[in-house]
Amino acid sequence: MLYLASKSPRRHELLARLGVDFGTIDLDIPEQRQPGEGADGYVRRVAREKAGAGLLKVVATPGAVVLGSDTEVILDDEVFGKPANADDAAAMLRRLSGRTHRVVSAVWLVSAARELEAVSVSEVTFDTLDEARIAAYIATGEAFGKAGAYGIQGLAETFVSRLDGSFSGVMGLPLYETASLLRRFGLLRESGVAA
């Protein structure tokens, strides 16, 4: 049985696209970068911690496999998490305006017997955003609960002048990498159909 260790509706929607049956585990893992920890290493560690904590909740289920994932927006080695409020969201969007940032999405699949990891790195270039455009976007409410204060699958898609990488990875779960891991665990056939 596959479990998704995430309460993110975007991850749930993306994983469902692969046609696999899965349960959801609601976790609250602290997402705090350690002193001296690289941005990419931080994303990978948090994803692994989510998967491991999820496995502890379902370890009594025979054959349980848990998927943990984390996605972060990174600019100049600074990790842009979810904004605390409208001012925080506006500050993030001002920093991303007219620049290229990286979106790192790490995925771990763990069971009692094994674990596998995949990482997707995308480069996203934003158009120059003026204050009115930033304020209008924040007013939609879409900036909240999302790394970097934007959701590429919504109105912020109009901010993106260039994307080099995985659209689903920027959304929160890179489907190419996730499908590859699921195949290696025998949960998805080569044809892409659920096993």
Active site residue 70: yes
Instruction: Specify the DSSP class assigned to residue 113.
Output: S
Q: Which helix H or strand E contains 1, and what residues bound it?
A: none
* Gap between the Cα atoms of 71 and 121, Å rounded: 10
Indicate the SS3 state at residue 37.
coil
Distances (CA, A) of 164 to 58, 66, 80, 160: 37, 29, 19, 11
Note whether 126 and 148 are within 8 A (CB).
no
* Gap between the Cα atoms of 172 and 4, Å rounded: 13
C-alpha triplet 192, 123, 81: angle, nearest 5°: 95
Q: Which of 70, 87, 88, 130 is catalytic?
A: 70
Active-site positions read: 70
